[in-house]
């Protein structure tokens, strides 16, 4: 895993090497082992390397035989060995053993369609000096990030926004539409970023920049609108098991030690068991534990490790350790993201990095195979919405009178969240269940001046774009929505930033392109069967895991924010959300912020998501100093 960055001047103005080096140096945490540069006339490519494959000769940028095509790659190409063998048979000459080198030769043979042949997780930049053409591309699911900024006479790009901001001409203007989306979704949906002129390349997308002309192209799509597979449950289970085996095996190629994240849930346990069955050496598994039993997965992780037979490493952290880490969040997130699980994910990554350089994880199982409680909630809502209005009104009165609990997804929290979506179409209902602030609350959160600059009607532009792309099944439509928004712009961003901050590479077998395609073409009844989530995945995993692990109640990587906001986080909240600071900065309505805090601290309302999103934004703003 690495960090890439670059500058493409549309004029003949030479690239400033000192600026390029500063951009690359901001990505040192992504690649502490090596750096490399191509600076030639109007193109500059910068690279920071975390050595994984071909430790001795894998220095980037990589070039073709006559040095007319150059590439920098962040990620791994899993099918590079087969591609290399085929390219050698066609007469190509290789000077390294790294996976990256296959890209320049594939491009020579296939042009832009080389992307269709690559199986991996990656973000790359390829420079064709003969055509004066730059290609920027991301992997199919967006596991590796790539940002860019188009200026009048140049294009800047980088793995993280902080690299672009090192260029003195990169604007820092805040995008207030993106700010509103952040406070609703708790992340900024692609292709936009929190900065108005900085964009995110979408998954499966590539950018072709030739002179000053720019074209966006797509080389793959999740096949939800293709004909569904007609398989029995038994045959589908067998095929999924085969695909899982292949996905894990191809991700075991490495010249450095590997391990696996193991929480004790079905996703990570399945990956750990398959890894243990395929690896030639003893598998090392990693988890972290907390003193609060409501949020602690440590005991379940130990049970899973004993069953699978991994050499398990586990460390217990006190609440204070996590709290002390919170101010550091802004150092490794480029834009505000209010998923609190980034804190334990970073701790787990740091702990894992002490023993290995690469870890396999279980991300993707919920979105592909129907694991989230919200999918069940949509089925429940179809029954609830059929009830007479007076019964629903009475139920709402009872629910809203429930006192706020402090436990992990307490009953009152779930019930109140459920009612937030009543009366809305499925896509908006889904967003309202997950949101920090509701759409109608956003104009009140901001000052009148900021609200006037914000197009609140654009809040659901990405949501409406992705919802129901030719799918007739409502559950499929919601799952696709999660894959293209929540997983893409929250889960995968969280894992990338947290792991890369610790210089650890994380691979996601469940997001293998063959598994994604297979899952998309399955009927939704194979995923959510009655009230049973991940039905097919559980059936396939039954060949490896006992019922206790397979049927374990889902538990996320959460923090006890409801308690912390009342007590442990008081110092940070008073520092960043005090009335004087809020009034002076002119973004938020100080009366609204004060009310959110007072309601939560008094136990009248659970405002954990709203308060946390405000705190994260304030810490981010202090670190990145956007132009208002």
DSSP notation for 271-294: HHHHHHHH-SSPPEEEEEEESSGG
What tokens were used for 202?
A: 């979408």
Contacting residues for 230 by C-beta, under 8 A, at least 6 apart: none
Which position among 2, 149, 170, 592 bears the catalytic label? 2
Contact 352, 504 (CB under 8 A): yes
* Angstrom distances, CA of residue 360 to CA of 147, 357, 482, 567, 615: 25, 10, 22, 36, 31
H or E element at residue 311 = strand 311-317
CA angle 30, 192, 461 (to 5 degrees): 140
Q: What is the 3-state secondary structure (H, E, C) of 407-463?
A: CCCCHHHHHHHHHHCCCCCHHHHHHHHHCCCCHHHHHHHECHHHHHHCCHHHCCHHH
Separation of alpha carbons 557 and 569, rounded Å: 19
In the beta sheet, which residues pair with residue 217?
Answer: 206
Q: How many CB atoms lie within 10 A of CB 626?
A: 17
What tokens were used for 587?
A: 């973004």
Separation of alpha carbons 534 and 268, rounded Å: 14
Report the half-sphere exposure of 322 (CA within 13 A, side-chain side).
26
Burial status of residue 344 (CB atoms within 10 A of its CB: 0-12, 13-18, 19 or more): buried
Residue among 385, 382, 453, 374 nearest 414 (CA):
374
Report the half-sphere exposure of 521 (CA within 13 A, side-chain side).
17
* Angstrom distances, CA of residue 139 to CA of 127, 220, 341: 18, 9, 24
Separation of alpha carbons 28 and 32, rounded Å: 5
Q: Strand 62-63 vs strand 213-218: parallel, antiparallel, or unpaired? A: unpaired
List, in sequence order, the alpha helices (H) in 229-364: 233-250, 266-278, 298-308, 319-325, 329-332, 342-353
Give helix 590-601 / helix 608-624 axis angle, nearest 10°: 130
Asked about 383 being catalytic, the answer comes back as no
* Residues with catalytic function: 2
């Amino acid at each position: 895993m690495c960090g890439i960055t670059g500058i493409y001047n549309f004029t003949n103005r030479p690239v400033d090497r000192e600026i390029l080096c500063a951009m690359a140096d901001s990505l040192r945490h992504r690649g502490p082992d090596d750096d490399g540069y191509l600076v030639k006339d109007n193109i500059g490519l910068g690279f920071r390397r975390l050595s994984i494959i071909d430790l001795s000769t894998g220095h980037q940028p990589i070039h073709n035989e006559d040095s007319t095509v150059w590439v920098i790659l962040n990620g791994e190409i899993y099918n590079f060995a087969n591609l290399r063998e085929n390219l050698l048979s066609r007469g190509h000459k290789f000077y390294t053993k790294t996976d990256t080198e296959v890209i320049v030769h594939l491009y020579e043979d296939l042009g832009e369609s080389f992307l269709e042949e690559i199986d991996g997780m990656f973000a790359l930049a390829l420079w064709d000096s003969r055509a004066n053409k730059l290609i920027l591309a991301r992997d199919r699911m967006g596991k590796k990030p790539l940002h860019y900024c188009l200026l009048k006479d140049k294009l800047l790009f980088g793995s993280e926004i902080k690299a672009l901001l090192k260029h003195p001409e990169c604007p820092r203007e805040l995008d207030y539409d993106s700010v509103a989306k952040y406070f609703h979704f708790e992340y900024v949906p692609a292709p936009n970023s929190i900065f108005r002129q900085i964009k995110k390349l979408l998954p499966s997308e590539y950018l072709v920049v030739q002179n000053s002309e720019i074209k966006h192209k797509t080389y793959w799509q999740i096949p939800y609108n293709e004909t569904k597979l007609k398989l029995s449950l038994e045959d589908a289970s067998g095929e999924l098991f085969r695909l899982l085996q292949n996905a894990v095996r191809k991700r075991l190629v490495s010249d450095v030690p590997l391990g696996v994240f193991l929480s004790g849930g079905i996703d990570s346990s399945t990956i750990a068991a398959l890894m243990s069955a395929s690896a030639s050496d003893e598998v090392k598994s990693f988890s972290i534990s907390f003193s609060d039993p409501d949020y602690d997965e440590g005991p379940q992780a130990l049970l899973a490790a004993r069953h699978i037979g991994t050499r398990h490493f586990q460390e217990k952290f006190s609440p204070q350790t996590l709290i002390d880490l919170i101010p550091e969040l802004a150092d490794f997130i480029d834009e505000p993201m209010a998923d609190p699980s980034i804190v334990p994910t970073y701790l787990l990554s740091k702990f894992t990095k002490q023993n290995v350089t690469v870890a396999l994880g279980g991300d993707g199982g919920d979105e592909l195979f129907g694991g989230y409680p919200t999918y069940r909630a949509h089925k429940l809502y179809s029954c609830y919405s059929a009830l007479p209005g007076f019964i629903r009104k009475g139920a709402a009165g009872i629910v809203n009178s429930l006192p706020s609990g402090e436990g992990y997804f307490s009953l009152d929290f779930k019930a109140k969240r459920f009612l937030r979506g009543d009366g809305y179409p499925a896509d908006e209902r889904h967003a309202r269940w997950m949101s920090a602030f509701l759409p109608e609350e956003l104009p009140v959160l901001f000052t009148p001046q900021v609200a006037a600059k914000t197009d609140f009607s654009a809040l659901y532009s990405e949501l409406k774009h992705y919802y129901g792309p030719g799918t007739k099944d409502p559950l499929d439509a919601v799952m696709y929505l999660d894959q293209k928004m929540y997983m893409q712009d929250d889960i995968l961003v969280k894992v990338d930033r947290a792991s890369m901050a610790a210089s650890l590479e994380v691979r996601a077998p469940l997001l293998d392109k063959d598994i994604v395609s297979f899952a998309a073409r399955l009927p939704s009844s194979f995923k959510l069967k009655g009230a049973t989530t991940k039905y097919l995945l559980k059936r396939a995993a039954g060949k490896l895991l006992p019922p206790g692990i397979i049927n374990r109640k889902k538990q996320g990587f959460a923090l006890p924010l409801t308690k912390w906001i009342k007590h442990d986080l008081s110092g940070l909240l008073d520092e960043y959300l005090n009335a004087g600071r809020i009034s002076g900065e002119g973004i938020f309505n100080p009366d609204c912020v004060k009310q959110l805090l007072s309601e939560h601290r008094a136990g009248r309302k659970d405002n954990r998501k709203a308060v946390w999103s405000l705190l994260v934004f304030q810490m981010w703003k202090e670190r990145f100093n956007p132009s208002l």
